[in-house]
Amino acid sequence: MIKNRINLHLIQYAINSILRQKSKNIFIHIIFVILTFLLSSVFFITNSIKYELNTTVDSLPQIIVQNVKAGKIYDINTNMINNILEINGVNDVNARVWGYYYFNKLDVYFTLMGLDTYENQYKQNFTHIVNNYDLEKPLGNQTMLVGIGVKKALSKAYYMGNYFNFIKPNGTIKKLDIIGTFKNSTQLESNDMIIMSKESIRDIFDIGINQATDIVVSVKNPEEIGTIVEKIKLKFPNVNIITNEDLKISYQNIFNYKSGIFLTLFIICLFTFFIIIYDKASGLNSEEKKEIGILKAIGWTTDDILKEKFYEGFIISFFAYIIGTILAFIFVYFFQAPLLRDIFEGYSTLKASFELPFILDFQTLFLVFFLSVPIYISATIIPSWRISTLEADEVIR
């Protein structure tokens, strides 16, 4: 036998050995593919949603000031903006006018966000929008931009017009022309969003001219956010303040709760896999023992037998890993993981769905590989090593 390099004859023998026990090995291969597929899908979905959540939180305002009475959020008076601007370290202050609008036909909520062309925007993509689109047309119909998810939702409802009629609190209709679609860097934030002028949103939600939904504060030095929050509370004791870090913790708590469900699925997959490994490692059947005995009798060394068993285990496990991983990629990123993604999103239709962003995480691929392939190869080699160390006549008997 040729030593210290890949032996094609051993590989050929390993393939023939797999084919001789075709039914058993096909069953193991299929189970291996399914488990690899489930594990990979779980990790791919987790990575995509975690990336989307973190990117979304990073793009949110540093400080949000709300008017809360008896635990309920009310519109906030914009007169406090000048007082907040006087605080050292504050870079800019914006009054946000926004809200959730219920679309009855599809049972979803759209986020309506108001922008003022003549004020500083707290987000770069909002600056791009106001510089390139005219949201205020005093002599004609007012306009709006819709997110891609909103566009798809309206198409599902067979609403193909270039305008939309909003129902105001007094029951009258407000018509806005749709002048285009937009897509932000994060779909979670913009997929269900409609952008229009603040004047339009005040009219739709009946918000007063000196009122806003909340106030966002930008600071020069992120390290001073805690200090500025305390100063705002001293000036306005009754307001509720949410920082970017608070939102990140809140999102992470939701993510960790959902991950617990995924962890359960992950444990079930591993448990099933290790049952197969335990059965494989517990010993060889009489035919496999007899085969090893014959190989030793015709001159095979223990090293040759272990190499052949290595190739055998590698062929079954590695190709199952490749097939399962490819299927997981297709399932998650082409078909958007139906059913599995619902564990994170929930089954409610109150929010327009978003596409999972493609995230290629080599750590995940290596983790799934080392949780499966080496373990299966070890479970194949160890019982063969025990038998191959015995004398040939003892094994055959």
* The two structure tokens encoding residue 257: 């709760």
pLDDT at 286: 67
CB 354 within 8 A of CB 187: yes
CB 112 within 8 A of CB 201: yes
pLDDT at 42: 81
pLDDT at 282: 61
Annotate 206-247 with DSSP letters as a single string: T--TTEESEEEEEES-GGGHHHHHHHHHHH-TTEEEEEHHHH
**pLDDT of 392 strictly over 60:** no
C-alpha angle 139-144-149 in degrees, rounded to nearest 5: 165
C-alpha separations of 183 from 4, 47, 49, 112, 364 in Å: 56, 21, 17, 15, 28
Cβ-based neighbours of 275, under 8 Å, separated by 6 or more: none
C-alpha angle 126-130-131 in degrees, rounded to nearest 5: 110
Confidence class of residue 48 from pLDDT cuts 50, 70 and 90? Answer: confident
- Give the mean pLDDT of 372-377: 84
| Dist CA 50 CA 139 (whole Å) | 45
Up-side HSE of residue 156: CA atoms within 13 Å toward CB? 14
pLDDT at 66: 93
The residue among 122 and 269 whose pLDDT is bigger is 122
Lowest mean pLDDT among 48-52, 350-354, 374-378: 350-354
Query: Does the predicted model carry a pTM greater than 0.85?
Result: no
- Give the mean pLDDT of 294-320: 84
CB 220 within 8 A of CB 89: yes
CB 104 within 8 A of CB 110: no
From the CB of residue 262, how many other CB atoms can be counted at a distance below 10 Å?
17
**Residue length, the chain?**
397
**b/e sequence 196-219, b meaning 16+ C-beta within 10 Å:** bbbbbbbbbbebeeebbbbbbbeb
CB 136 within 8 A of CB 197: yes
| Domain layout of the chain by residue ranges | 8-56+251-396, 62-242
From the CB of residue 317, how many other CB atoms can be counted at a distance below 10 Å?
23
Lowest mean pLDDT among 82-86, 136-140, 216-220, 286-290: 136-140
Task: Tell me which long-range contacts 85-92 makes (C-beta under 8 A, separation of at least 24).
Answer: 87/228, 87/231, 87/232, 87/235, 89/219, 89/220, 89/221, 89/224, 89/227, 89/228, 90/217, 90/218, 90/219, 90/220, 90/228, 91/218, 91/219, 91/220, 92/120, 92/122, 92/217, 92/218
Query: Largest alpha-carbon pair distance within the chain?
Result: 101
pLDDT at 349: 44
**Winning range, highest mean pLDDT, from 309-323, 337-351, 383-397:** 309-323
Confidence class of residue 393 from pLDDT cuts 50, 70 and 90? Answer: low
Q: Coil, strand, or helix at residue 101? A: strand
pLDDT at 95: 92
Average pLDDT, the chain: 80
Q: Coil, strand, or helix at residue 95? A: strand
- Give the mean pLDDT of 234-244: 89
- Give the mean pLDDT of 253-273: 63
- Give the mean pLDDT of 128-157: 78
Q: Coil, strand, or helix at residue 124? A: helix
**Winning range, highest mean pLDDT, from 154-158, 218-222, 290-294:** 218-222
Cβ-based neighbours of 193, under 8 Å, separated by 6 or more: 110, 111, 112, 113, 146, 147, 150, 184
**pLDDT of 217 strictly over 80:** yes
| Dist CA 207 CA 76 (whole Å) | 10
Cβ-based neighbours of 154, under 8 Å, separated by 6 or more: 146, 160, 164
- Give the mean pLDDT of 304-313: 86
Q: Coil, strand, or helix at residue 317? A: helix
